[in-house]
Amino acid sequence: MNTVALFGAGLMGQRVAELLQRWPDVALAAVVSRNRPEWLRDVPWYPNVDELSETTGFLIDFSLPGGTGAAANWCRANMVPMISGTTGLEEADREALEHAAELVPVLWAPNLSRGLNLVLRSVVEAAASLPRDIPVRITDVHHVHKKDQPSGTALLLAHAIASARGVRPEDCLVLSMGSDAPRAGMVQCVSHREGEAVGAHRVTFYCRHEQIEFSHEAEERDIYAAGAIEAGFWLLKQPAGLYSAAEWLAPPNSEV
């Protein structure tokens, strides 16, 4: 029986915990969160990751910026693989993930949906094939409780487009709250926070006389929770290192 420690008990953490109850051959070992979640039953809870003592196969992090670094440090010290879907990371968080990856396998991805990462693959191919001066707009829609704008997924898409074009993100990325059309060479990110929307992303390439559009809309958070669990089992078979969702979902024998 495999076991999982969960760091963070918000909306995503709750979905992971509930999905683990139905997942074969795996159990939730413990939950770490600032406050004990009301939904938690018959599972140890700790307010601080340093108090976590349960043996666990891997740790799933859906916390907040600042918390990810603490989780990474614990995973390094205890030789536990780590999957993180936390967005809006601080520099200290990123450094802690890289430090942990020296000893254990670590996967960080702002979006753990298989579908979104397939869209990302197509977006990269389009960006590499089309002229670099074609303007691009990335639109992300999330619930009103989401703090980061643009979303981590929108930034992932933007950075992937810039990389495919061979340019630096800071030279092309523009954050916009309005609907002005992007200019030549621009990668524009526009964010909307509406109701309880789970998450939708749309990428539009404004070519001459035509538009090329890729989109993904999440209908429920279980797609991210399932992705985190599946990625965890994949990570158990990997050597130490810092991995991306593209590497997790790469076809066998392919190079990423």
The per-residue pLDDT string of the chain (256 residues; one tens digit each, 9 = 90 and over) reads 889 999 999 989 999 999 999 998 899 999 999 999 999 989 999 999 999 988 899 999 999 888 999 999 999 999 999 999 998 889 999 999 999 999 999 999 988 999 999 999 999 999 999 999 999 999 999 888 877 789 889 999 999 999 999 999 999 999 886 667 788 999 999 998 888 888 899 999 999 999 999 999 988 889 999 999 999 999 999 999 999 998 998 876 656 5
Q: Which residues are catalytic?
A: 142, 146
- Cα 189 to Cα 104, 139, 173: the distances in Å are 34, 6, 7
Please give the Cα distance from 33 to 103 (Å, whole number). Answer: 25
Convert the pLDDT of each residue in 198-238 to its tens digit.
889 999 999 999 999 999 998 888 999 999 999 999 999 99
> Could you tell me the two tokens for 229?
């669990």
Closest CA to 61 of 147, 145, 52: 52
Check: CB of residue 97 under 8 Å from CB of residue 68. yes
Helix (H) / strand (E) element for 242: namely strand 241-243
